[in-house]
Structure 1
């Protein structure tokens, strides 16, 4: 019997277009996302470096792009957050313990909050018992310790806890600590199908 749900954020609630950021960065001179940039990104996602350090690090790989232009390119992936998903979340928040666990950075969260407005963002966050962003907690999925951190903080029972994510590696990490999982496909599925999924677990 599921009594708790841990949700991912991107491509579960807010729609993303990774190609948009890739295209925008390409126009700034970044032909490929190499290992150095990947390492920089992961350091930023766990809060080891701040926004300025991250964007300046990316700037070295561009054709001399302005910092503000790089920030805009980095945020290009953030699309819409349909209201019906928030309404669904509000509806189930009285039936389940809800948590948010996202690999993200302060640039994307700042942009999200400005994009949807403070009232919408506040309504969204208030649906959760606790919101966990990787840049705030210093760890990211699919590290098993990230899931254990939340389980331990809230005395969750893994077999009664459903983890929802669109990335397979994150699903595998969750399975390794005993969580129930739903590997959602954002192209063909919507989070509002959750109650039907739960029936099959």
Structure 2
């Protein structure tokens, strides 16, 4: 995206995992295996094999139901706290430079967060952020949108319609940043400008001075 296009923007919608926050999903897969919970992802490692994971991400099942289901998948009878810790193992950190970038960007743009997440992860990363930085994670944004609170997840197109409507955003004035190409394509169908995060395209490269 050119600097000229950036200058015409009013709003930026960020994904969370792998964009703002570092994630390592294989760490959770490994920790769950130690608890006897195996085969939860397909051969590619990109999709969960049981719908409970996606149902939890849209708030269709409760935290209690989610943890009970995972415990039933193991013959080792792990505790709920052990499962919760394993599930949170994928959550790493939010680098200080990204926090600084968001703070600076908020001086020029309206910032929003749109994340496919769940109540256990939300509690973890918001608590860790406040402990490490001394203020509420949500203060970095004008508004945060979490899939488990909305009842819908990316790349369903309705989630973009919802954000545009309730935050009163014009698609052509809005940039969406995500690491999933499926999510990027869904946003583009609404006329939203996009930036796909990958090994070549980083937040640093997009907003380099």
Same fold (TM over 0.5): yes
CA contact (8 A) 1:37 1:58 kept: no
Unaligned runs of 5+ in 2: 1-7, 43-47
TM (normalized to structure 2)?
Answer: 0.86
Alignment partner, residue 45 of structure 2: none
Map residues 161-200 of structure 1 onto 2, 5 A cutoff: 161-185=174-198, 187-196=199-208
Distance across 2 between alignment mates of 1:41 and 1:130: 25
Alpha-carbon distance change, 60 to 24 in structure 1, aligned in 2, over 3 angstroms: same
1:151 aligns with 2:164: yes
Alignment partner, residue 105 of structure 2: 92
1:72 aligns with 2:85: yes
Question: Per-residue deviation at 1:138?
Answer: 1.2
CA contact (8 A) 2:130 2:137 kept: no
Alignment partner, residue 32 of structure 1: 39
CA contact (8 A) 1:86 1:124 kept: no
Alignment partner, residue 55 of structure 1: 67
Q: CA RMSD of the aligned region, Å?
A: 2.0
Larger % of helix: which?
1
Q: 1:125 aligns with which of 133, 138, 146?
A: 138
Alignment partner, residue 17 of structure 1: 24
What count of residue pairs does the alignment treat as equivalent? 196
